[in-house]
Chains A and B, each alone.
Chain A
Amino acid sequence: AQSVTQPDIHITVSEGASLELRCNYSYGATPYLFWYVQSPGQGLQLLLKYFSGDTLVQGIKGFEAEFKRSQSSFNLRKPSVHWSDAAEYFCAVGDMEYGNKLVFGAGTILRVKS
């Protein structure tokens, strides 16, 4: 079955520092991969997605992610974090064989210190 692992439950970075959130997936075929962000009291907003092609994908708010098939990873990065980036981040893999549902990781809570 498809699964997603986000090994870091919490991450704290200083404002202006770079960020990398880790995501590993398990999926038999070529995966559809997503990163969503959830601010407190809000729904999930799509940051970026990977379906095929260029393994480095750009998203909103200055985020990017790189798909590495050999490592089954899809890590999210941002070169300079802003205080407004504090939120919870979810990696997800699309189960295209069964209804197109998304399987989510447990999430990583990002704290930004000034």
Chain B
Amino acid sequence: DSGVTQTPKHLITATGQRVTLRCSPRSGDLSVYWYQQSLDQGLQFLIQYYNGEERAKGNILERFSAQQFPDLHSELNLSSLELGDSALYFCASSAGLGNTGELFFGEGSRLTVL
């Protein structure tokens, strides 16, 4: 158990819909990262938050957004969903910016868009 909790574990929805994925980091971790894992793209970094502020941005679509709340949990919002958004979305956390880079991953949220 990594200590990172993601909900929901599975989600099935239709094209055009909007979903929210939730992540609770390990206790004390200030950084939260979102990754998308798909068969054709592999593990792609989406976005990182540190203590409530956006720190780094990767290949995140404009239809996607994220935030980190004062209690440090994070949400990833996916809107106007397309079939190609079907993937496993991972949240990871780490202690902070100055750490040695080790990330702790949740078990992921599997999104299926029909």
Binds A, one of B12-20, B74-82, B96-104: B96-104
Q: Identify which of B33, B42, B43 gathers the most chain A CB atoms within 10 Å of its CB.
A: B43
Question: What is the interface of chain B, defined by CB distance below 8 A to chain A?
Answer: 2, 4, 31, 33, 42-43, 45, 48, 50, 55-56, 58, 90, 92, 94, 97, 99-108
Q: Are A42 and B107 in contact (CB under 8 A)?
A: yes
- The 10 A-B residue pairs with the shortest CB-CB distance in the complex, in nearest-first order: A99-B56, A94-B101, A43-B105, A104-B43, A44-B105, A43-B107, A99-B55, A32-B101, A99-B48, A106-B42
Decide: B107 and A100 in contact? CB cutoff 8 A. Answer: no
A-B contact pairs, 22 of them (CB 8 A): A34-B101, A36-B105, A43-B105, A43-B106, A43-B107, A44-B90, A44-B92, A46-B102, A51-B100, A96-B101, A98-B56, A99-B31, A99-B50, A99-B55, A99-B56, A100-B31, A100-B94, A101-B56, A102-B33, A102-B101, A102-B103, A104-B42
Number of interface residues of A (CB under 8 A): 24
Closest to A33 in B: B101
Q: How many A-B residue pairs have CB under 8 A?
A: 62
Q: State the Cβ distance, B29 to closest chain A Cβ, in Å.
A: 12
Q: How near does chain B come to A88, taking the closest CB pair, in angstroms?
A: 10
A67 interface residue (CB < 8 Å to B): no
Compute how far the CA of A104 lies from the CA of B102 in the bound complex, rounded to whole angstroms: 13
Whether A89 is near chain B, meaning CB under 8 Å from some CB there, is no
> Within 8 Å CB of A102, what residues of B?
33, 45, 101, 103
